[in-house]
Structure formats: C-alpha cells, structure tokens
A = this chain, B = another copy of it.
Amino acid sequence: MTNSSLLNAAASDFPAWVSSKQARIEQTLAQTLPAGNIAPNTLHDAMRYSALTGGKRVRALLCYAAAEMCDTNIVIADAAACAVELIHAYSLVHDDMPCMDDDDLRRGKPSCHKQYDDATALLVGDALQSLAFEALSQPRLCNNTGLQASQQINMLNMLAKATGSTGMAGGQAIDLASIGKSLTQAELESMHQLKTGALIQAAVLLGAINGSNAQMAAVRTYAANIGLAFQVVDDILDVEADTATLGKTAGKDADANKPTYVTILGLALARQHAQKLYENAIAAIAPFGDSAQRLRELATFIMQRSF
C-alpha cells in the first residue's frame, strides 16, 4: 500500500477517528486535572465536573487534525488540545454565571455555579485557565518530540493572546456590550473572530506547530474561515431550534436582542455565507492533498451540524 492509499483508507473511517480522538482528549484531560481527592477537594471536584462533561471537543479534533497534517508529535498535540479545551471549559463556566449569561444548564446538566455555587464557579474558571498554561508549559514537551523550547514559547504566547482581552475575553466583552444594539455584518464578524474564532484558530495553529511556513499560512486561513462558519451555523441552529421548540424555551425573547448572522442576513443568506466560508476553508488547504483530509472532514462535520 502506498502512503497515499493508506491515508485514503484511514480517511474513509472518519467517525472512528473522531471517536478515538474524543476518547484520547477525555483521557488526557482526566489525567491533567487534579484528582477530586486532592485538596482543595471541592474545587478539584468542580473543575473535573466542568471540564470532563464532554461535548463534541471540536477544538481538540481540529488540533489533532492539524497535528496529523503537519506531523506534529502526538505528545505535543495532546498538550495543545488539552490546553485549548481547558480554556474553552473555563470560558463556559464563567459565561454561565449569573452576572454573564446566567445559564442554569450546560449540556443537560446543572452548570457549575448551580451544581456548586458562584464563588466556586469563579475559582473553577480561574483555575482551569491557569491549568491550561501549566499543561502547555510542561518542560517534558521538548523531550524527544522534535519541539524546540522556542517553539513552545511561541505556542504559549499564541494561546495567551487567543484567550485574553484581544481574543476570546475581548470578544465576550464586545458581545455583552452589543446586546440590544444593531451591528453591521463586519462588526458582528469582528466580534465572533474574537469570541470563538481566536481559540479555534489557536487550536489549529498549535496543532500545526511542526508545519512549514506554507502549511501554517494555509491552516491559518482555514481556521479563520471555519471559525466563522462554526458561528454562522450556531446562529442558524439557534433559529431552527427556536422553530422546533417554539414556546418551550423561556428567555429566548431576551436573546433576540443579540445580533446574529440570521438577524442581519436572514436565514437564506446566512446559509449561503456559511457555505462560502466553508469553501474558503477547503480551498486554503487544497494544496496539501490527502494530508489535509481530516481538516476537510472536520469542516464538513462543522457544517453538517445544521444542514
């Protein structure tokens, strides 16, 4: 079997790849998070409750796919995927708090501040963020992995920027400030590029750390487009879920004050826009053929959440 046909054979089994990588990140997170019987027990319990509740782990999958494309060592990919998922988990815990989105449920379970209390949720988010940087700054990551310490510094700097006030936290601030306001599509896009796009882009770029300049540039464009597509699909799903469950979900009227791709573009144009972003993402990684197959499949996976 040639290398290329091996890749094709593997590529045909995307669902199995997703399952194995989801299991892998779950195990990595379980090992990285302090055990619930280590003091302070309640804080550690609550951190595990919040970070191990699953979800699709799209960010970790993107990181692993980019790592496979760029031959990044799996030890590095594990640490990067873990760090990104810890940052994502922290953001969900804080976003759910009463002073933010005030969500009582997260994936069908009580959100952290409901299961524990507000003070614990605050500390859980804080400590998950620290743990992300701890996981990515492990000195062992440069042991026989081909990673240079200077590259690891770049990864940490990239993650910090994606997480902070000019990344995810900044996007959340703009989102809060935009409630009840009308935004242009450009303003909405720039908000989402920070709020969800920055971390998705970091996930892909961290996975691609071993890549050539051409590969890094390509995955950067891929990530920027797929990050926005992810958000457009989210907005479409919100409307479709609304339609399907009309009158059941309280509080959605208040949400209607938030500008979305659907409120700005309408449903049909929003779908077209998502499709265009998807095509841009696919085009960016086209030069890398079979080695980019997982990233292509993930792009389709992200789109198929809605249609």
Contacts and interface: CB of A to CB of B under 8 A. Distances in A.
Interface of A: 34, 38-40, 42-44, 47, 90, 94, 97, 99-100, 117-120, 122-123, 125-127, 129-131, 133-134, 137-139, 142, 148-150, 152-154, 156-157, 159-161, 163-167, 169-170, 172-174, 176-177
Given A99-B119, A139-B157, A153-B153, 6 more contacts: A99-B118, A123-B165, A127-B165, A130-B160, A134-B157, A134-B161
A171 to B, nearest CB: 8
Contact of A42 (B118, B129, B173): B173
Contacts of A157: 134, 137-139
A32 to B, nearest CB: 11
B177 A42 contact: yes
Contact of A156 (B117, B137, B164): B137
Contact of A173 (B123, B152, B154, B159): B123
Contacts of A120: 173
Main secondary structure of the interface of A (DSSP, over half): helix
Contacts of A150: 139, 142, 149
11 contacts: A34-B165, A40-B165, A42-B177, A43-B170, A90-B126, A100-B122, A123-B173, A126-B126, A127-B170, A130-B165, A133-B159
Nearest to A167: B130
Nearest to A99: B118
Contacts of A47: 165
A131 B163 CA distance: 9
